[in-house]
Chains A and B, each alone.
Chain A
Amino acid sequence: MTTPSTELTTVDVAELSRLLAAGEVSAVEVTRAHLDRIAAEDDQLGAYLHVEHDSALAAATAVDEARSSGAALGPLAGVPVALKDLVVTEGVPTTSGSKILQGWRPPYSATIATRLADAGTVMLGKTNMDEFAMGSSTENSAYQVSRNPWDLSRIPGGSSGGSSAAVAGHLAPWAIGTDTGGSIRQPAAVTGLVGHKPTYGSVSRYGLIAFSSSLDQAGPMARTVLDAALMHEVIGGHDPRDSTSIEQPLTGLAAAARAGAAGDLRGVRVGVVRELGGDGHTDGYDPGVLARTREAVEVLAGLGAEVVEVSCPSFDLALPAYYLIAPSEASSNLARYEGVRFGLRVGDDGDHDLDEVMALTREQGFGPEVKRRIILGTYALSSGYYEAYYGQAQKVRTLITREFTAAFADVDVLVSPTMPTVAFPLGARVDDPIAMYAADLCTLPASLAGLPAISVPSGLSEGLPVGLQIMAPALADDRCYRVAAALEAAQDATRGHRLLDELPALAGAS
């Protein structure tokens, strides 16, 4: 074995897969390298809520034994993976970042967890997140704060901030995130990763703890576009257990990433969305973010893409529409936490009846952001306000979808910044919901329309990563991968290394 263990935590999944298949490293070595780094560094990053130390090593041992016995293994066998803590996993603590599920060990596994296990990947553990995925900073976790490996005083994004901190901090080679209003793309953007929200319905939601069912979508968070595509191909595809699952095969994603890396975008029309950081729409955007976006678009043009400006006026209403629709669905979904079937129960002392036990349980089990959204959702759905709020928001959703359709009649992909700012300091927006919600400005339109969108690093501003968002029509996820890979390859070639290679060493890192 010639590869030092420290390198095993920085190498891309595609290369890790090659090393494992060639027998140059064992799955146990790879898994142990990551477990060692988690043990050494996670007290700084707060990426994991639960680490599956023994079962991960057991799974890795099984892969090594199967490989040495000559069994046919998939290309990803032995590659470690981290799962956001709302992916239900049989027998493994799963909390969705909430006290109300503390100690719960699910009796079954999510389809995506099963598919990753069937591919031979090794689950390292469960990553921290905003409670029930409600947040843009991971400060709403009931358990701990996660920190950005680029600057430990800043947020790692949200709500998949544990996953982004783990992958950017080399505590996992890749991870599962979920995206309701941008929770894969934003944490990827602010930590220098690639994060892809698949077409709604193309990755099973069976076994994902629900926040807003018409929007929630799991997807990959990785260090390269190709790695993200490789994971997407494992977890995607029809699932009869999910009634919203699309019955279409999912192929060609990794091939699209490899084709894009060749750097030829001739024939591709790229639309720059005016309402997302364009002229007259720059309030709240960091100048550095806008500059990196312009430069990235110039790179795409330099690779042969034709660039045009596109106007989608209803995108200005995506934020208010989202913050009515998502809390409304959450108020319904979270009704299941009533202290009877699973999780916490408070006040069952004989003095309180069922209603009181429910209310006390939910008071103690939910954090402030969850309570605020449940109350807001209840308000938006209540008699007399339904049409003015929820009904109107659903119509805005139609307008946004129509504008996407019109835009995609003219262009192949749309681009924008992923997040209006770089990672903000921990605590800076925690008491100001309006400021916090503004982080979602650019990611919400694609969420409401159910379209695929990827965030790919586009450089640094103030020493912190910036992401470019690339959106495509439904089921054209391959276009996202192709264009993102082209940008990634061109920028890596220009700077001579990956953006993530500029990550400062963690204090105390070996």
Chain B
Amino acid sequence: MSTISRDDVAHLARLSRLAVTDEELDRFAGQLEQVLAAVARVGEAAVADVPPMSHAVPLTNVLRPDVVTPSLPRDAVLAGAPAAEDDRFRVPRILQEEE
């Protein structure tokens, strides 16, 4: 059975760009341990020669004709953004001051 520690949850949360509280770390570690124990049963299936199935329908790459078509109005798209400036999305600071 797989185990998942409090540190594992913290690491996964960092990978997921999720800040988590100490209380959440404790709670999620316990719950994910339970969930992983339950889903580990997929390992019981004899599937050595079975291909994986990612999708219920065959996927093909769909391309549209390479012609210019109208896109969403810029103002309408920026209206939903938390911050915009000079007709662009405004992004929080990326580099530290010393960088």
A residues engaging B (CB < 8 A)? 104-108, 200-201, 214, 240, 243-244, 246, 314, 317, 319-321, 323-324, 331, 335, 338-345, 347-348, 350, 352-360, 362-363, 366, 368, 371-372, 374-376, 378-379, 382, 385, 388-389, 391-399, 401, 433-434, 437, 448-451, 474
A348 to B34, CA, bound (A): 36
Against A, the Cβ 8 Å flags (1 = close, 0 = not) of B30-45 are 0110111011111111
CB distance from A432 to the nearest CB of B (A): 8
Q: A106 to chain B: which residues have CB within 8 Å? A: 80
Q: A107-B79, A375-B12 are in contact. Are A358 and B42 (CB under 8 A)?
A: no
A395 to B94, CA, bound (A): 41
Do residues A399 and B80 form an inter-chain contact, with CB atoms below 8 A? no
Which one of B40, B56, B80 contacts A104 once the chains associate, using CB atoms below 8 Å? B80
Do residues A375 and B32 form an inter-chain contact, with CB atoms below 8 A? yes
Residues facing A in B27-72 (CB within 8 A) are 27-28, 31-32, 34-36, 38-45, 47, 50-57, 59-62, 64, 72
Q: A353-B93, A375-B9 are in contact. Are A395 and B82 (CB under 8 A)?
A: no
A360 to B17, CA, bound (A): 8
Do residues A344 and B82 form an inter-chain contact, with CB atoms below 8 A? yes
CB distance from B57 to the nearest CB of A (A): 5
A344 to B82, CA, bound (A): 6
Which one of B14, B41, B51 contacts A317 once the chains associate, using CB atoms below 8 Å? B41
A355 to B36, CA, bound (A): 28
Q: B55 to chain A: which residues have CB within 8 Å? A: 214, 244, 450
CB distance from A373 to the nearest CB of B (A): 9
Give the total of B residues in contact with A, Cβ under 8 Å.
60
4 closest Cβ pairs, A-B complex: A450-B56, A394-B52, A345-B82, A107-B76
Do residues B20 and A378 form an inter-chain contact, with CB atoms below 8 A? no
Do residues A342 and B18 form an inter-chain contact, with CB atoms below 8 A? no
Q: A243 to chain B: which residues have CB within 8 Å? A: 59-62
Give B77's nearest chain A residue, CB to CB: A107
Please report whether the interface of chain B is mostly helix, strand, loop or mixed according to DSSP.
loop
Give A352's nearest chain B residue, CB to CB: B92
CB distance from A272 to the nearest CB of B (A): 23
A338 to B57, CA, bound (A): 30
Q: B89 to chain A: which residues have CB within 8 Å? A: 340-341
Q: Identify which of B8, B9, B35, B89 gathers the most chain A CB atoms within 10 Å of its CB.
A: B35
Give B57's nearest chain A residue, CB to CB: A201
B24 is an interface residue with CB less than 8 A from chain A: yes
Give B60's nearest chain A residue, CB to CB: A243
Do residues B45 and A399 form an inter-chain contact, with CB atoms below 8 A? yes
Do residues A244 and B18 form an inter-chain contact, with CB atoms below 8 A? no
Give B13's nearest chain A residue, CB to CB: A375
